[in-house]
A and B are shown apart, each in its own frame.
Chain A
Protein backbone atom coordinates (compact mmCIF):
# COMPACT_ATOMS: atom_id res chain seq x y z
CA UNK A 1 0.00 0.00 0.00
CA UNK A 2 1.33 3.41 -0.90
CA UNK A 3 -0.10 6.62 0.51
CA UNK A 4 0.82 9.81 -1.26
CA UNK A 5 0.57 13.18 0.44
CA UNK A 6 -0.39 16.42 -1.30
CA UNK A 7 1.04 19.58 0.20
CA UNK A 8 -0.78 22.89 0.66
CA UNK A 9 1.35 25.52 2.42
CA UNK A 10 1.79 24.28 6.01
CA UNK A 11 -0.56 21.30 5.62
CA UNK A 12 -0.24 17.88 4.01
CA UNK A 13 -3.29 15.98 2.83
CA UNK A 14 -3.12 12.18 2.90
CA UNK A 15 -5.98 10.38 1.13
CA UNK A 16 -7.17 7.01 2.45
CA UNK A 17 -9.32 4.71 0.35
CA UNK A 18 -11.15 1.40 0.44
CA UNK A 19 -11.55 -0.49 3.71
CA UNK A 20 -9.35 -0.13 6.76
CA UNK A 21 -9.90 -3.26 8.82
CA UNK A 22 -8.19 -6.17 10.57
CA UNK A 23 -6.80 -7.46 7.27
CA UNK A 24 -4.83 -4.37 6.26
CA UNK A 25 -4.55 -2.21 9.38
CA UNK A 26 -0.94 -3.19 10.02
CA UNK A 27 0.11 -2.20 6.49
CA UNK A 28 -1.84 1.03 6.87
CA UNK A 29 -0.17 1.70 10.23
CA UNK A 30 3.32 1.32 8.81
CA UNK A 31 2.63 3.47 5.77
CA UNK A 32 0.65 6.19 7.54
CA UNK A 33 3.16 6.58 10.36
CA UNK A 34 5.93 6.78 7.78
CA UNK A 35 4.07 9.56 5.98
CA UNK A 36 3.51 11.42 9.23
CA UNK A 37 7.13 11.04 10.23
CA UNK A 38 8.09 12.55 6.90
CA UNK A 39 5.57 15.39 6.69
CA UNK A 40 4.52 16.37 10.21
CA UNK A 41 7.59 18.51 10.73
CA UNK A 42 8.16 22.19 11.36
CA UNK A 43 4.61 22.67 12.66
CA UNK A 44 2.95 21.37 9.47
CA UNK A 45 -0.45 19.75 10.03
CA UNK A 46 -1.74 16.48 8.58
CA UNK A 47 -5.19 16.27 7.03
CA UNK A 48 -6.55 12.77 6.45
CA UNK A 49 -8.84 12.86 3.43
CA UNK A 50 -11.36 10.09 4.09
CA UNK A 51 -13.56 10.72 1.03
CA UNK A 52 -12.49 7.37 -0.45
CA UNK A 53 -12.64 5.37 2.77
CA UNK A 54 -15.68 3.09 2.82
CA UNK A 55 -15.25 1.36 6.18
CA UNK A 56 -13.06 1.47 9.26
CA UNK A 57 -12.97 -1.26 11.91
CA UNK A 58 -11.69 -1.04 15.47
CA UNK A 59 -8.25 -2.08 14.24
CA UNK A 60 -8.37 0.79 11.78
CA UNK A 61 -9.46 3.23 14.48
CA UNK A 62 -6.37 2.25 16.41
CA UNK A 63 -4.27 3.25 13.42
CA UNK A 64 -5.88 6.70 13.51
CA UNK A 65 -5.09 6.99 17.20
CA UNK A 66 -1.46 6.00 16.66
CA UNK A 67 -1.20 8.52 13.83
CA UNK A 68 -2.55 11.25 16.09
CA UNK A 69 -0.10 10.31 18.84
CA UNK A 70 2.86 10.34 16.50
CA UNK A 71 1.88 13.69 15.02
CA UNK A 72 1.52 15.13 18.51
CA UNK A 73 4.95 13.79 19.48
CA UNK A 74 6.36 15.62 16.45
CA UNK A 75 4.65 18.88 17.46
CA UNK A 76 1.97 18.48 14.79
CA UNK A 77 -1.69 17.47 14.68
CA UNK A 78 -4.03 15.33 12.57
CA UNK A 79 -7.33 16.60 11.21
CA UNK A 80 -9.95 14.40 9.58
CA UNK A 81 -11.91 15.51 6.52
CA UNK A 82 -14.63 14.43 4.11
CA UNK A 83 -15.58 11.18 5.84
CA UNK A 84 -18.36 9.23 4.14
CA UNK A 85 -21.53 8.91 6.27
CA UNK A 86 -20.75 5.41 7.55
CA UNK A 87 -17.19 6.25 8.56
CA UNK A 88 -18.35 9.52 10.14
CA UNK A 89 -20.88 7.60 12.20
CA UNK A 90 -18.29 5.04 13.29
CA UNK A 91 -16.12 7.93 14.53
CA UNK A 92 -19.05 9.14 16.63
CA UNK A 93 -19.94 5.69 17.99
CA UNK A 94 -16.36 4.98 18.97
CA UNK A 95 -15.99 8.51 20.49
CA UNK A 96 -13.09 9.27 18.15
CA UNK A 97 -14.81 12.58 17.44
CA UNK A 98 -13.48 13.60 20.87
CA UNK A 99 -9.82 13.39 19.85
CA UNK A 100 -9.96 14.46 16.22
CA UNK A 101 -10.85 17.74 14.63
CA UNK A 102 -13.41 16.57 12.05
CA UNK A 103 -14.35 18.63 8.99
CA UNK A 104 -16.93 18.11 6.23
CA UNK A 105 -14.47 18.84 3.41
CA UNK A 106 -10.73 18.87 2.84
CA UNK A 107 -10.88 22.59 2.20
CA UNK A 108 -12.62 23.17 5.55
CA UNK A 109 -9.88 21.21 7.29
CA UNK A 110 -7.19 23.18 5.48
CA UNK A 111 -8.91 26.44 6.43
CA UNK A 112 -8.81 25.26 10.04
CA UNK A 113 -5.05 24.81 9.68
CA UNK A 114 -4.32 28.19 8.08
CA UNK A 115 -5.61 30.70 5.53
CA UNK A 116 -2.48 29.97 3.49
CA UNK A 117 -3.29 26.26 3.29
CA UNK A 118 -6.86 26.97 2.15
CA UNK A 119 -5.60 29.49 -0.40
CA UNK A 120 -3.06 27.03 -1.76
CA UNK A 121 -5.85 24.45 -2.10
CA UNK A 122 -8.04 26.93 -4.00
CA UNK A 123 -5.22 27.71 -6.41
CA UNK A 124 -4.28 24.10 -7.04
Chain B
Protein backbone atom coordinates (compact mmCIF):
# COMPACT_ATOMS: atom_id res chain seq x y z
CA UNK B 1 0.00 0.00 0.00
CA UNK B 2 1.30 3.46 -0.90
CA UNK B 3 -0.16 6.65 0.52
CA UNK B 4 -0.04 9.85 -1.50
CA UNK B 5 -0.90 13.18 0.06
CA UNK B 6 -2.63 15.51 -2.39
CA UNK B 7 -3.97 17.95 0.20
CA UNK B 8 -2.78 18.35 3.78
CA UNK B 9 -4.00 21.75 4.98
CA UNK B 10 -6.95 22.33 7.27
CA UNK B 11 -9.88 24.68 6.78
CA UNK B 12 -8.82 26.58 3.65
CA UNK B 13 -6.12 26.22 0.98
CA UNK B 14 -2.98 28.33 1.37
CA UNK B 15 0.05 28.96 -0.80
CA UNK B 16 3.45 30.54 -0.48
CA UNK B 17 3.55 34.24 -1.23
CA UNK B 18 6.17 35.94 -3.42
CA UNK B 19 7.82 37.18 -0.22
CA UNK B 20 7.96 33.59 1.12
CA UNK B 21 9.66 32.38 -2.07
CA UNK B 22 12.19 35.24 -2.05
CA UNK B 23 12.96 34.43 1.56
CA UNK B 24 13.62 30.76 0.78
CA UNK B 25 15.76 31.72 -2.25
CA UNK B 26 17.80 34.20 -0.25
CA UNK B 27 18.44 31.67 2.50
CA UNK B 28 19.40 29.04 -0.09
CA UNK B 29 21.92 31.44 -1.65
CA UNK B 30 23.41 32.15 1.75
CA UNK B 31 23.60 28.41 2.46
CA UNK B 32 25.36 27.83 -0.90
CA UNK B 33 27.94 30.39 0.18
CA UNK B 34 29.27 31.32 -3.25
CA UNK B 35 29.39 27.76 -4.53
CA UNK B 36 29.23 27.49 -8.35
CA UNK B 37 27.23 24.94 -10.33
CA UNK B 38 28.05 23.84 -13.87
CA UNK B 39 24.48 22.88 -14.73
CA UNK B 40 20.88 22.98 -13.56
CA UNK B 41 21.15 19.30 -12.74
CA UNK B 42 24.15 19.88 -10.50
CA UNK B 43 22.36 22.71 -8.69
CA UNK B 44 19.26 20.54 -8.38
CA UNK B 45 21.29 17.72 -6.90
CA UNK B 46 22.85 20.12 -4.39
CA UNK B 47 19.41 21.45 -3.39
CA UNK B 48 18.04 17.94 -3.00
CA UNK B 49 20.94 16.53 -1.02
CA UNK B 50 22.28 19.38 1.04
CA UNK B 51 19.73 22.10 1.63
CA UNK B 52 17.43 22.04 4.60
CA UNK B 53 13.84 20.83 4.25
CA UNK B 54 12.58 24.30 5.12
CA UNK B 55 14.27 25.71 1.98
CA UNK B 56 13.42 22.99 -0.50
CA UNK B 57 9.85 22.18 0.53
CA UNK B 58 6.62 23.77 1.59
CA UNK B 59 3.84 22.10 3.48
CA UNK B 60 1.37 23.77 1.16
CA UNK B 61 -1.27 23.81 0.17
CA UNK B 62 -4.45 22.05 -0.70
CA UNK B 63 -7.12 20.97 1.75
CA UNK B 64 -7.63 17.34 2.73
CA UNK B 65 -7.22 14.71 0.03
CA UNK B 66 -5.23 11.52 0.66
CA UNK B 67 -4.91 8.63 -1.78
CA UNK B 68 -4.31 5.03 -0.73
CA UNK B 69 -2.81 3.15 -3.64
CA UNK B 70 -3.63 -0.44 -2.81
CA UNK B 71 -2.04 -1.85 -5.92
CA UNK B 72 -5.47 -2.84 -7.26
CA UNK B 73 -7.29 -1.42 -10.27
CA UNK B 74 -9.63 0.80 -8.23
CA UNK B 75 -8.64 4.08 -6.64
CA UNK B 76 -9.12 4.83 -2.94
CA UNK B 77 -9.13 8.38 -1.64
CA UNK B 78 -10.06 10.07 1.61
CA UNK B 79 -11.89 13.38 1.31
CA UNK B 80 -12.38 15.67 -1.63
CA UNK B 81 -10.66 18.84 -0.43
CA UNK B 82 -8.96 21.08 -2.97
CA UNK B 83 -6.26 18.40 -3.35
CA UNK B 84 -8.84 16.45 -5.35
CA UNK B 85 -7.99 18.61 -8.37
CA UNK B 86 -4.36 17.40 -8.75
CA UNK B 87 -5.43 13.92 -7.63
CA UNK B 88 -7.99 13.88 -10.45
CA UNK B 89 -5.33 14.96 -12.96
CA UNK B 90 -3.12 12.13 -11.69
CA UNK B 91 -5.94 9.60 -12.15
CA UNK B 92 -6.70 10.77 -15.69
CA UNK B 93 -3.03 10.76 -16.68
CA UNK B 94 -2.57 7.28 -15.31
CA UNK B 95 -5.72 5.89 -16.89
CA UNK B 96 -5.22 7.24 -20.38
CA UNK B 97 -8.61 6.79 -22.02
CA UNK B 98 -9.74 4.04 -19.67
CA UNK B 99 -12.49 5.24 -17.33
CA UNK B 100 -11.43 4.84 -13.69
CA UNK B 101 -13.32 3.54 -10.67
CA UNK B 102 -12.72 5.77 -7.68
CA UNK B 103 -13.77 4.94 -4.12
CA UNK B 104 -14.09 8.13 -2.06
CA UNK B 105 -14.31 8.03 1.75
CA UNK B 106 -15.74 11.17 3.32
CA UNK B 107 -14.76 12.08 6.87
CA UNK B 108 -17.55 14.68 6.85
CA UNK B 109 -18.99 17.31 4.58
CA UNK B 110 -17.48 20.54 5.82
CA UNK B 111 -16.54 22.71 2.90
CA UNK B 112 -12.78 22.20 3.06
CA UNK B 113 -13.39 18.46 2.62
CA UNK B 114 -15.67 18.68 -0.43
CA UNK B 115 -14.48 21.82 -2.23
CA UNK B 116 -12.25 19.94 -4.69
CA UNK B 117 -14.99 17.75 -6.13
CA UNK B 118 -16.28 20.29 -8.73
CA UNK B 119 -12.69 20.31 -10.08
CA UNK B 120 -12.20 16.54 -9.93
CA UNK B 121 -11.53 15.56 -13.55
CA UNK B 122 -12.86 11.98 -13.44
CA UNK B 123 -16.30 13.35 -12.47
CA UNK B 124 -16.53 14.74 -16.00
CA UNK B 125 -15.43 11.54 -17.75
CA UNK B 126 -18.14 9.36 -19.32
CA UNK B 127 -17.82 5.78 -18.10
CA UNK B 128 -15.98 6.72 -14.92
CA UNK B 129 -17.42 5.28 -11.72
CA UNK B 130 -17.24 7.25 -8.50
CA UNK B 131 -18.49 5.69 -5.28
CA UNK B 132 -18.70 8.18 -2.44
CA UNK B 133 -18.73 6.32 0.89
CA UNK B 134 -19.82 8.04 4.09
CA UNK B 135 -21.71 7.59 7.33
CA UNK B 136 -23.63 10.86 6.97
CA UNK B 137 -27.24 11.26 5.86
CA UNK B 138 -26.47 14.60 4.23
CA UNK B 139 -23.53 13.51 2.07
CA UNK B 140 -25.26 13.59 -1.31
CA UNK B 141 -27.08 16.79 -0.38
CA UNK B 142 -23.79 18.52 0.43
CA UNK B 143 -22.16 17.48 -2.86
CA UNK B 144 -25.18 18.66 -4.84
CA UNK B 145 -25.54 21.87 -2.87
CA UNK B 146 -22.03 23.17 -3.59
CA UNK B 147 -22.58 22.72 -7.32
CA UNK B 148 -26.05 24.29 -7.38
CA UNK B 149 -26.55 27.78 -8.82
CA UNK B 150 -25.37 30.38 -8.03
CA UNK B 151 -22.35 28.73 -6.40
CA UNK B 152 -20.95 26.82 -9.39
CA UNK B 153 -21.64 26.86 -13.15
CA UNK B 154 -21.91 23.08 -13.62
CA UNK B 155 -24.78 21.45 -11.78
CA UNK B 156 -24.12 18.06 -10.19
CA UNK B 157 -26.63 16.44 -12.59
CA UNK B 158 -24.45 17.42 -15.55
CA UNK B 159 -21.44 15.42 -14.37
CA UNK B 160 -20.72 12.64 -16.84
CA UNK B 161 -19.40 10.00 -14.46
CA UNK B 162 -21.63 7.46 -12.79
CA UNK B 163 -21.72 8.70 -9.19
CA UNK B 164 -23.07 6.51 -6.40
CA UNK B 165 -23.43 7.42 -2.73
CA UNK B 166 -22.72 4.46 -0.46
CA UNK B 167 -23.76 4.51 3.17
CA UNK B 168 -21.32 2.93 5.64
CA UNK B 169 -22.15 1.95 9.22
CA UNK B 170 -19.78 3.06 11.99
CA UNK B 171 -17.55 0.29 13.37
CA UNK B 172 -18.82 -2.22 10.82
CA UNK B 173 -15.98 -3.37 8.54
CA UNK B 174 -16.83 -3.39 4.83
CA UNK B 175 -14.88 -5.24 2.13
CA UNK B 176 -14.34 -2.90 -0.81
CA UNK B 177 -12.27 -4.03 -3.79
CA UNK B 178 -10.08 -6.23 -1.61
CA UNK B 179 -9.64 -3.69 1.17
CA UNK B 180 -11.35 -3.89 4.56
CA UNK B 181 -12.61 -0.44 5.54
CA UNK B 182 -13.93 0.39 9.02
CA UNK B 183 -15.41 3.81 9.81
CA UNK B 184 -15.34 5.20 13.34
CA UNK B 185 -17.27 8.10 14.85
CA UNK B 186 -15.20 11.13 15.92
CA UNK B 187 -15.88 14.27 17.92
CA UNK B 188 -16.44 17.17 15.52
CA UNK B 189 -19.27 19.61 14.82
CA UNK B 190 -21.91 17.61 12.91
CA UNK B 191 -19.85 14.42 13.52
CA UNK B 192 -16.91 13.20 11.52
CA UNK B 193 -15.63 9.68 10.84
CA UNK B 194 -12.17 8.21 10.71
CA UNK B 195 -11.43 5.26 8.44
CA UNK B 196 -9.21 2.27 9.05
CA UNK B 197 -7.98 0.54 5.89
CA UNK B 198 -6.57 -2.99 6.06
CA UNK B 199 -5.08 -5.12 3.33
CA UNK B 200 -2.57 -7.98 3.31
CA UNK B 201 -1.76 -7.47 6.99
CA UNK B 202 -1.02 -3.76 6.59
CA UNK B 203 -3.20 -1.02 8.06
CA UNK B 204 -3.58 2.72 7.66
CA UNK B 205 -5.88 4.97 9.66
CA UNK B 206 -7.14 8.30 8.36
CA UNK B 207 -8.42 10.36 11.27
CA UNK B 208 -8.92 14.03 10.71
CA UNK B 209 -11.23 16.68 12.12
CA UNK B 210 -11.33 14.85 15.40
CA UNK B 211 -11.10 16.33 18.87
CA UNK B 212 -10.13 14.24 21.86
CA UNK B 213 -11.55 15.13 25.25
CA UNK B 214 -8.82 13.99 27.56
CA UNK B 215 -11.12 13.72 30.54
CA UNK B 216 -13.25 11.15 28.73
CA UNK B 217 -11.34 7.95 29.41
CA UNK B 218 -13.86 5.74 27.65
CA UNK B 219 -13.46 7.77 24.46
CA UNK B 220 -9.67 7.62 24.72
CA UNK B 221 -9.71 3.85 25.21
CA UNK B 222 -12.15 3.44 22.34
CA UNK B 223 -9.99 5.51 20.04
CA UNK B 224 -6.83 3.69 21.03
CA UNK B 225 -8.55 0.48 19.94
CA UNK B 226 -9.34 2.08 16.58
CA UNK B 227 -5.65 2.96 16.10
CA UNK B 228 -4.35 -0.33 17.55
CA UNK B 229 -1.09 -1.50 15.90
CA UNK B 230 -1.71 0.61 12.80
CA UNK B 231 1.21 0.91 10.40
CA UNK B 232 0.31 4.53 9.68
CA UNK B 233 -1.96 6.99 11.47
CA UNK B 234 -2.82 10.17 9.56
CA UNK B 235 -3.80 12.43 12.45
CA UNK B 236 -5.47 15.81 12.89
CA UNK B 237 -2.70 17.83 14.56
CA UNK B 238 -4.05 21.25 13.73
CA UNK B 239 -3.23 23.04 16.96
CA UNK B 240 -0.67 23.15 19.71
CA UNK B 241 -1.72 21.30 22.85
CA UNK B 242 -2.44 24.58 24.65
CA UNK B 243 -4.66 25.91 21.85
CA UNK B 244 -6.54 22.62 21.56
CA UNK B 245 -7.67 22.62 25.16
CA UNK B 246 -8.04 26.35 25.79
CA UNK B 247 -8.99 29.01 23.23
CA UNK B 248 -9.78 26.42 20.54
CA UNK B 249 -11.43 23.81 22.73
CA UNK B 250 -14.61 22.45 21.11
CA UNK B 251 -13.41 23.52 17.65
CA UNK B 252 -13.18 19.85 16.75
CA UNK B 253 -9.44 19.42 16.26
CA UNK B 254 -6.46 17.95 18.03
CA UNK B 255 -2.73 18.49 18.58
CA UNK B 256 0.67 16.95 17.91
CA UNK B 257 0.99 16.07 21.62
CA UNK B 258 -2.26 14.09 21.72
CA UNK B 259 -1.29 12.39 18.45
CA UNK B 260 1.93 11.13 20.01
CA UNK B 261 0.16 9.93 23.16
CA UNK B 262 -2.65 8.08 21.37
CA UNK B 263 -0.25 6.43 18.91
CA UNK B 264 2.05 5.35 21.74
CA UNK B 265 -0.88 3.87 23.66
CA UNK B 266 -2.09 2.10 20.53
CA UNK B 267 1.32 0.75 19.54
CA UNK B 268 1.08 2.44 16.13
CA UNK B 269 4.25 2.56 14.03
CA UNK B 270 4.08 5.84 12.15
CA UNK B 271 2.28 9.06 13.04
CA UNK B 272 1.65 11.57 10.26
CA UNK B 273 0.73 15.07 11.43
CA UNK B 274 -2.05 16.31 9.17
CA UNK B 275 -4.72 19.01 8.61
CA UNK B 276 -2.33 21.86 9.28
CA UNK B 277 -3.61 25.14 10.68
CA UNK B 278 -3.71 27.62 7.73
CA UNK B 279 -2.13 30.35 9.88
CA UNK B 280 0.98 28.20 10.48
CA UNK B 281 3.90 28.85 8.13
CA UNK B 282 6.50 26.25 7.14
CA UNK B 283 8.80 27.17 10.02
CA UNK B 284 6.01 26.75 12.57
CA UNK B 285 4.97 23.39 11.13
CA UNK B 286 8.58 22.19 11.21
CA UNK B 287 8.83 23.26 14.83
CA UNK B 288 5.65 21.35 15.70
CA UNK B 289 7.13 18.29 13.98
CA UNK B 290 10.43 18.56 15.83
CA UNK B 291 8.61 19.00 19.13
CA UNK B 292 6.41 15.97 18.47
CA UNK B 293 9.55 13.91 17.75
CA UNK B 294 11.20 15.18 20.91
CA UNK B 295 8.12 14.35 22.99
CA UNK B 296 8.09 10.84 21.53
CA UNK B 297 11.76 10.47 22.42
CA UNK B 298 11.19 11.72 25.97
CA UNK B 299 8.22 9.46 26.63
CA UNK B 300 9.14 6.36 24.62
CA UNK B 301 8.34 3.16 26.43
CA UNK B 302 9.11 0.47 23.90
CA UNK B 303 9.38 0.62 20.13
CA UNK B 304 10.05 4.03 18.60
CA UNK B 305 7.16 5.80 16.89
CA UNK B 306 8.15 7.33 13.56
CA UNK B 307 6.70 10.81 13.11
CA UNK B 308 6.43 12.88 9.95
CA UNK B 309 4.44 15.94 8.98
CA UNK B 310 2.38 15.63 5.81
CA UNK B 311 3.00 17.92 2.86
CA UNK B 312 1.37 18.00 -0.54
CA UNK B 313 3.23 15.51 -2.73
CA UNK B 314 4.52 13.35 0.13
CA UNK B 315 4.33 9.59 -0.35
CA UNK B 316 4.61 6.79 2.20
CA UNK B 317 5.13 3.14 1.32
CA UNK B 318 3.71 0.59 3.76
Which residues of chain A have a CB within 8 Å of any CB of chain B?
A: 22, 25-26, 29, 55, 57-59, 61-62, 65, 86, 89-90, 92-96, 98-99
B214: interface (CB < 8 Å): yes
Residues of A within 8 A of B241 (CB): 58, 61, 93-96
Which residues of chain B have a CB within 8 Å of any CB of chain A?
A: 214-215, 217, 220, 240-243, 245-246, 255, 257-258, 261, 291-292, 294-295, 298-299
Counting chain B CB atoms within 10 Å of each CB, the highest count among A61, A90, A95, A98 belongs to: A95
Among the listed B214, B240, B243, B291, which residue makes an inter-chain contact with A62, where contact means beta carbons less than 8 Å apart?
A: B214
Residues of A within 8 A of B258 (CB): 58
Given pairs A58-B255, A59-B214, 18 additional interface contacts (CB within 8 A): A22-B214, A22-B220, A29-B215, A55-B299, A58-B241, A58-B258, A59-B215, A65-B242, A65-B245, A86-B298, A89-B294, A93-B294, A93-B295, A94-B257, A95-B241, A96-B241, A99-B242, A99-B246
Q: Is the CB of B214 within 8 A of A58?
A: yes
Among the listed A65, A86, A93, which residue makes an inter-chain contact with B257, where contact means beta carbons less than 8 Å apart?
A: A93
Q: Is the CB of B298 within 8 A of A94?
A: no
Majority secondary structure, B binding face: helix
CB distance from B235 to the nearest CB of A (A): 13
Number of residue pairs across A and B with beta carbons under 8 Å?
54
Q: Is the CB of B215 within 8 A of A26?
A: yes
Minimal Cβ-Cβ distance residue in B for A57: B261
Minimal Cβ-Cβ distance residue in B for A68: B246
Q: Is the CB of A95 within 8 A of B242?
A: yes
Q: Is the CB of B215 within 8 A of A58?
A: no
Q: Is the CB of A65 within 8 A of B261?
A: no
Minimal Cβ-Cβ distance residue in A for B239: A95
Closest 6 CB pairs of A and B: A94-B241, A95-B242, A59-B214, A93-B291, A95-B240, A62-B214
Minimal Cβ-Cβ distance residue in B for A26: B215
Q: Is the CB of B295 within 8 A of A25?
A: no
Counting chain B CB atoms within 10 Å of each CB, the highest count among A26, A58, A59, A89 belongs to: A58
**What are 13 A-B contacts defined by CB distance under 8 Å?**
A25-B214, A29-B215, A55-B299, A58-B261, A62-B214, A89-B294, A90-B298, A93-B257, A93-B291, A93-B292, A95-B240, A98-B242, A99-B246
